[in-house]
Amino acid sequence: MNAPTALIAEDEPLIAAALRADLLQAWPGLQVLAQVGDGLSAVQQALALKPRLCFLDIRMPGLDGLQAAQALAEDWPDDGTPFPLIVFVTAYDQYALQAFEREAVDYLLKPVDAPRLAQCVQRLQRLLAQPTAPTALDDTLAQLRGLLGAAGMPGAAQPQPPRLEMIQAGVGSTLHLVPVDEVLYFEAADKYVRVVTADKEHLIRLSLRELLPQLDAQRFWQVHRSLVVQARCIATATREASGKVLLTLRGRPERLTASRLYAHLFKGM
């Protein structure tokens, strides 16, 4: 049996070094393939090195741990490579930990203590030793749906901003006013969001994360971490063998892809 492999993503060097040392002490056969300090590097290295385990800090620059896990779930290759088992490393209080436990995501609370780490290692070893290796991707998708839906964690629910009715897209000295109801989809594009209607496209200087709370979630469905589609504009949804879903829209020629994380939105009635 090949030695188990791991990736550690933690932006605090001292904590990362301590976690690595403690892991290797608790699990001498473990091979740490990479140690990175931000979420984007975690995704890039995980996709390149294909570790069996990923230890992801929740709070990291750029992509946080949940966003990194989401990116991995969406971009993991369809070549049969096992999806890594993910352990979140968090400084959240007990309120948030209850949410993690409900979703069956393993976690390590900072500062990591030896008994809790040993418990986590034993659980991971049991999963890896199963005769039929767990398809961690399906489990992770279900877990991420629950965790990504736990908005405002930790702490009390945040007040919702007013619903957006009009998009203001500036081009030079001209301001275009686009009714939200005319938008077929929003797509993240670098530091902008593309606003696509049946016959026009606009760019707005706003992140998708900032835009989402202002949209009606019943009307606008997030179908990928970089894509939000107006549900009534979806004409067909075709599931692929990989679990992804191809979408056609009324009034547009292109086909869009819904990731495996959001494929559950498209089920026949």
Instruction: Indicate the domain borders of the chain.
Output: 5-148, 166-265
pLDDT for res 246? 96
pLDDT for res 14? 93
pLDDT for res 136? 62
Residue partners of 53: CB distance under 8 A and separation at least 6: 4, 5, 6, 7, 30, 84, 85, 86, 87, 124
pLDDT for res 102? 58
Residue partners of 151: CB distance under 8 A and separation at least 6: 157, 158
Tokens of residue 109, six digits = 């609370």
Question: What residues form DSSP beta bridges with 168?
Answer: 177
- With a cut of 70, which residues of the chain have pLDDT below it? 1, 93-105, 131-136, 149-159, 269
Instruction: Classify 154 as helix, strand or coil.
Output: coil
What is the per-residue pLDDT across 82-123, written as a single tens digit (0 to 9) for each?
Answer: 889 999 998 876 656 666 665 556 888 888 899 999 999 999
Q: Are 203 and 246 in contact (CB under 8 A)?
A: no
Question: What residues form DSSP beta bridges with 245?
Answer: 239, 258
DSSP 179-237: EGGG--EEEEETTEEEEE-SS-EEEES--HHHHGGGS-TTTEEEEETTEEEEGGGEEEE
With b for 16 or more beta-carbon neighbours within 10 A and e for fewer, the 208-242 pattern comes to beebeebbeeeebbbbbbbbbbbeebbeebeeeee
pLDDT for res 16? 94
Tell which CATH classification among 3.40.50.1980, 2.40.50.1020, 3.30.930.10, 3.90.45.10 matches the domain 166-265. 2.40.50.1020
pLDDT for res 100? 67
Domain 5-148 has CATH 1.10.10.10: no
